[in-house]
Amino acid sequence: MFILFLAWTYYTHISHDFKNMTPNKSLHLNRWQLKFMMVGIRFGSLTEACLALLLLPILRGMSLLRLLGVQFEASVRYHVWLGNAVVLFSVVHGTSIMFIWGVKKSLANEMSKWQRTGRVYLAGELALLVGLVIWITSLPQLRRRSFQIFYFTHHLYIIFIIFFLLHTGDRHFYMVFPAVLLFALDKLLRIIQSRHATCVISGSVLSCKAVELTLLKSPGMKYTPTSTLFIKIPQISRFQWHPFSITSSCSTNDDKISVTIKCYGEWTNALYNMIHEKLKSDPHHMECFPVAIEGPYGPENHFYERYKTFLTLM
């Protein structure tokens, strides 16, 4: 539905532009060049529309999609789709404009401009470059191979938003500002919540190259099956947070919570090796170590009760 909305919006706007088009003498563009540039400019408008929604699916503490019954995994998928759309439309927008500059033989001059008023071309090029870096390091092959690169380059979104603001100006930034504000508030709430530290009181190494951790929790922490808990282990990384599904029951464990972690990348393999070494020194009593937790996040009710059949994979 959203794709159809974007297509309809683009068609109506570009049709209106072509209908009311008059050659611009100040830009020294003929009719086809002006049409081509209008096509590129309207792709920039599609970028704004997708960027206005890009941050909403990954709000954890104030998730809007949770009110619609959309689960965390699905909301992350929407974020990925919107991110791909932002990069695609940005590339088409930028290359279309630069193609016309090349035809006019003014590519180098236009690309290096930093205007005092209006759109800043150089800022747009830098925003596109930063966006491409974020997108490339987010590809599944690279993300699984080196999560740290993915994690830290994703924080370049701050630089991307700044250059986007400088490129489009405050009038266009108003469209994106609500999502940026909500994301900043959500980030602040998560930082406050994640200051709560706990400890791992037991762990076990499973034969399927997985680790089961049992953590202390406050009795007031409530969750449902399929809820997700974000965990940071300072002994492995002081910055990385990783989400895991909770495998214990809230109704039977008032002061403990368990997660099962499958080894896939650097962080999970480091955790596996750490637990393995701790159990090797004392198989019956593992030394406690501190962790930080954020969450849990998940549905308010048992959404799976809507289904007649369940498939459990062990």
Q: How far is CA 216 from CA 64, 163, 213, in A?
A: 30, 44, 10
Lowest pLDDT segment from 58-62, 203-207, 307-311: 307-311
Share of the chain above pLDDT 70, in %: 86
Mean pLDDT of 75-99: 91
Across the chain, what does the average pLDDT equal? 82
- pLDDT computed for residue 84 by the predictor: 94
φ/ψ region of 169 (left if φ > 0, alpha if ψ in -120 to 50, else beta) reads left
When pLDDT is cut at 50, 70 and 90, the band that residue 127 belongs to is: very high
Structure tokens at 99: 């193609």
The residue written with tokens 């990069």 in the block is: 87
Mean pLDDT of 62-83: 76
Q: What is the DSSP letter of 306?
A: G
Structure tokens at 2: 């959203």
When pLDDT is cut at 50, 70 and 90, the band that residue 157 belongs to is: very high
Q: Enumerate the β-bridge partners of residue 294.
A: 230
Three-class secondary structure of residue 45 per DSSP: helix
Cβ atoms of residues 265 and 147 within 8 Å: yes
Question: How far is the C-alpha of 137 from the C-alpha of 148, rounded, in Å?
Answer: 10
Where are the chain's structural domains? 2-192, 196-299
Mean pLDDT of 175-182: 89
Q: Is the pLDDT of residue 33 over 70?
A: yes
When pLDDT is cut at 50, 70 and 90, the band that residue 307 belongs to is: low
Q: Is the pLDDT of residue 24 over 70?
A: no
Say which residue, 253 or 54, is predicted with more confidence: 54
> What type of residue sits at position 262?
K
Question: How far is the C-alpha of 181 from the C-alpha of 177, rounded, in Å?
Answer: 6
Kindly tell me the sign of the dihedral angle through the C-alpha atoms of 72, 142, 55, 78.
negative
Structure tokens at 52: 């206005």
Three-point CA angle 151, 242, 312, nearest 5°: 130
Mean pLDDT of 139-162: 88
Share of the chain above pLDDT 90, in %: 15
Question: How far is the C-alpha of 219 from the C-alpha of 247, rounded, in Å?
Answer: 17
244-293 pLDDT, tens digit each: 888 877 767 777 888 888 888 788 888 888 888 888 877 677 778 888 88
- pLDDT computed for residue 312 by the predictor: 65
- Is the CATH number of domain 196-299 2.60.40.1730? no
Residues making up the chain, counted from first to last: 314
Q: In what order do the strands lie in the sheet with 256-262?
A: 242-245, 228-232, 289-297, 197-206, 210-216, 256-262
